[in-house]
Amino acid sequence: MNKDNPIGIFDSGIGGLTVAKAIRSLLPHESLLYFGDTKHLPYGEKSVHAIQEFSKNIALFLKQKNCKMIVIACNTASSVAYETIKNECPNIEIVNVIDPIVKRITTSNDTKTIGVIGTKRTINSDVYPQKIKSINQNISVKSLATPLLASMIEEGFFNDKISQAIVHNYLKDPALEGIDKLILACTHYPLIHEVIRDFYPQEIDIIDSASQVALHIKDVLTDKQLLANQSQKHRFYVTDYALSFEKSAKFFFGEDIHLEEVSSIH
């Protein structure tokens, strides 16, 4: 495998850009190939089988593009399609966004009651409580599905009155009472980090996958001697072009991006 081959990163839409951005700032020599499956957004409402099929096809596309690693920058796909992708691409490093977070939570001594918010599919999969409890039985996990948030963000509502009203309505749910940390178990949610933080009167540790996953990727690439020497241009693909995506992507990735539409992978 050539070290200078790109890292493939995919999500249903714009959310995985939070992960791409963290990778770019930690590993500036890496070339990124980003894939947003906008045609099938939101993944959180789809069946397990459908998400596995979408993910498999994207992984094959990224493999054809010679990616040296595939980052599943989506909690929903990470929770139900990680094994599918690993089986499909046995010779490529596959990284999900859940394990690095579980590791961080279970290795810190101060976590007692942790909240998890994510899409319906992620929360119904029970993946966070299962993984956390398999390592540390003493941590209590309180989960809540917050299905409107990803679509709300995708539509451009980040830090305004609308997002505030919806976020507050979810976070006041008794299901999340008494938490001392909150996992943002959807890669879209760092984009509304401030609104979430503002809900809590007390200091609360809000954990998102982006920087944690980037650190994990650095470790894997170092270990496999796959760190790139020189970056090529980053590339961005979507399955359904939308101007709003291009604008938001520019805003969140912090540089001009050109979206290429691919329609033939599904």
Q: Contact residues for ligand DGL (CB under 6 A)?
A: 11-12, 15, 41-44, 74-76, 118-119, 122, 150, 186-188
- Residue 82's nearest CA partner among 69, 68, 96, 67 is 96
Of the pair 117, 228, the CB lying nearest ligand DGL is at 117
CB of 37 to ligand DGL, least distance (A): 8
The residue among 40 and 68 lying less far from ligand DGL, judged by its C-beta, is 40
In the complex, what is the shortest distance from the CB of residue 67 to ligand DGL, in angstroms, rounded to a whole number?
19
Catalytic site includes residue 74: yes
Q: Which is nearer to ligand DGL, 31 or 76 (CB)?
A: 76
Of 31 and 122, the one with the shorter C-beta distance to ligand DGL is 122
Catalytic status, residue 89: no
- CB 197 → ligand DGL: shortest distance, Å? 19
E-strand ranges in 135-176 read 140-145
**Rounded Cα–Cα distance for residues 165 and 161 (Å):** 6
Helix H or strand E segment including 10: strand 7-11
Q: How far is the CB of 85 from ligand DGL (least distance, A)?
A: 15
H or E element at residue 32: strand 32-36
Q: Which of 7, 14, 74, 192 is catalytic?
A: 74
CB-based contacts of 31, cutoff 8 Å, min separation 6: 4, 5, 6, 7, 228, 231, 232, 233, 234
Q: Which two tokens stand for residue 148?
A: 């409107």
Q: Which residues form the catalytic set?
A: 74, 186
